[in-house]
């Protein structure tokens, strides 16, 4: 286990480039299992979650070249098992995305309960219901075991919840289900769009891309395809907050204007001078102001993945801000640790926190990065605080941020990795 030692109080400035969208990389990797042909993915983020997913593919029989680089070549001439490695599944919630491809290729799928952030509170009932609509039958027993003795079939379905991975699970299964499958109340996030585009390149007929009603015409055989991932707007937003909270000037490359605007809209309300210029998202030194309320929502509303970071930014804003994350009841709990740093925060309930600022944060604390996004938020708090702060385990944050320590150092942070 590693700890990040942070000496706070230093302004971060410079240029940083984000890699591909983490939340797109995982379903695209799962989609590569649908064909025997080679698939090539470019601008893949070099993060721990991608490595775990690649290891899962290899365990299932995939041949993968380029691990550790931004270009991966994946070929799966034969799927040798329908039960992916239990230990790896327990480390990654995205492993649930393997259900559809395994049912399509082998007629069976058996995965252990997926891990990741808050595994006990995030069910896969939407995923299982979608697969059931397409002919999958649940086999009693440990974990999640399904079979399609007569093969996958097309279906017309309404998703009770506009779940991102639930929508992706339905898409992955439908790509090889004969006939036309219609998915209503589908998630519309950019990473869902990327999966639709990739499946279309592989030969599936996909219409309604980017809308809440997607129609996909399955084919008996998909072929290989090449895809370049779009930049990760969550990572871009994270660096933007880090720049703003330290009073720095940041230039962030790689994010698309239409994706980052959901982050920019909230930052501008907080009087952060920021915006896109010539494909680069710029953040200027500013004096943040509180806003009455920040609420997360389904795309294109403010993303839950950034709620922890914007809460930390609110500690440096003049006035009182109510932050409301109605999507996940555990995301804000980790931020209570900042009270020991001098932050004026009141956790109203599992979904709402009231922040009054600005407050001068103090270091000298050991902070527990209980999930990926709160971990990055606590690092941001440590960067803004006076004195030293330790955040652990660093590996939790590295699940979603490539070369984190090196990039912080290049931006002027005084940080060190301790084993």
Residue (of 400, 327, 402) closest to 116 by Cα position: 400
Residue 373 Cα distances to 222, 370, 396, 397, 403, angstroms: 35, 9, 9, 7, 16
Residue 79 tokens, joined:
């799927």
CB 236 within 8 A of CB 21: no
Name the β-bridge partners of 14: 250
Measured over all CA atoms, what is the biggest interatomic distance in the chain, rounded to whole angstroms? 64
Burial class (CB in 10 A: 0-12, 13-18, 19+), 406: exposed
- Residues with Cβ within 8 Å of residue 364, at least 6 apart in sequence: 387, 388, 389
Q: How far is CA 248 from the centre of its chain?
A: 26
Residue 139 phi/psi, 5-degree rounding, is -100, 125
Question: Measured between alpha carbons, how far is 315 from 292 in angstroms, rounded to an integer?
Answer: 14
User: Which residues 6+ apart lie within 8 Å of 141 measured at CB?
Assistant: none
Cα–Cα distance for residue pair 204/137, rounded to 1 Å: 24
Give Cβ neighbours of residue 277 (< 8 Å, ≥ 6 apart): none
Write the CB contacts of 229 (distance below 8 Å, at least 6 apart in sequence).
19, 20, 21, 24, 25, 28, 41, 42, 43, 44, 45, 194
Residues annotated as catalytic (active site), given as ranges: 117
């Amino acid at each position: 286990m590693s700890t990040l030692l942070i000496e706070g109080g230093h302004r971060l400035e410079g240029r940083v480039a984000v890699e591909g969208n983490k939340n797109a990389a995982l379903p695209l990797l799962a989609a590569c299992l649908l064909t025997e042909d080679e698939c090539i993915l470019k601008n893949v983020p070099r993060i721990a979650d991608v490595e775990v997913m690649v290891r899962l593919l290899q365990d299932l029989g995939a041949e993968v070249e380029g691990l550790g680089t931004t270009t991966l070549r994946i070929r799966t001439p034969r799927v040798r098992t329908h039960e992916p490695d239990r230990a790896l599944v327990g480390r990654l919630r995205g492993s649930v995305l393997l259900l559809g491809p395994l049912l399509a290729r082998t007629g069976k799928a058996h995965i252990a309960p997926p891990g990741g952030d808050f595994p006990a509170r995030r069910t896969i009932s939407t995923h299982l219901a979608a697969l059931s609509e397409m002919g999958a039958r649940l086999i009693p027993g440990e974990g999640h075991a399904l079979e399609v003795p007569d093969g996958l079939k097309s279906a017309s379905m309404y998703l009770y919840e506009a779940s991102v991975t639930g929508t992706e699970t339905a898409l992955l299964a439908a790509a090889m289900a004969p006939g036309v499958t219609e998915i209503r109340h589908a998630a519309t996030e950019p990473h869902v769009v990327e999966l639709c585009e990739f499946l279309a390149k592989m030969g599936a007929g996909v219409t309604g891309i980017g809308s809440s009603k997607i129609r996909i015409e399955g084919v008996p055989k998909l072929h290989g395809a090449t895809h370049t991932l779009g930049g990760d707007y969550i990572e871009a937003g994270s660096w933007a907050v880090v720049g703003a909270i330290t009073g720095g000037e940041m230039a962030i490359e790689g994010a698309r204007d239409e994706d980052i605007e959901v982050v920019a809209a909230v930052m501008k309300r907080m009087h952060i001078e920021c915006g896109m210029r010539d494909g680069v998202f710029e953040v200027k030194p500013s004096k943040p102001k509180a806003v009455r309320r920040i609420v997360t929502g389904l795309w294109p509303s403010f993303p839950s993945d950034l709620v922890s970071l914007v809460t930390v930014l609110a500690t440096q804003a003049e006035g009182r801000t109510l932050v409301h994350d109605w999507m996940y009841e555990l995301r804000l709990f980790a931020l209570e640790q900042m009270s020991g740093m001098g932050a004026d925060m009141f956790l109203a309930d599992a979904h709402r926190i009231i922040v009054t600022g600005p407050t001068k944060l103090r270091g000298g604390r050991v902070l527990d990065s209980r999930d990926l996004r709160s971990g990055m938020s606590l690092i941001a708090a440590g960067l803004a605080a006076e004195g030293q702060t330790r955040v652990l385990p660093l590996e939790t944050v590295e699940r979603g941020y490539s070369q984190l320590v090196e990039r912080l150092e290049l931006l002027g942070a005084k940080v060190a990795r301790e084993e």
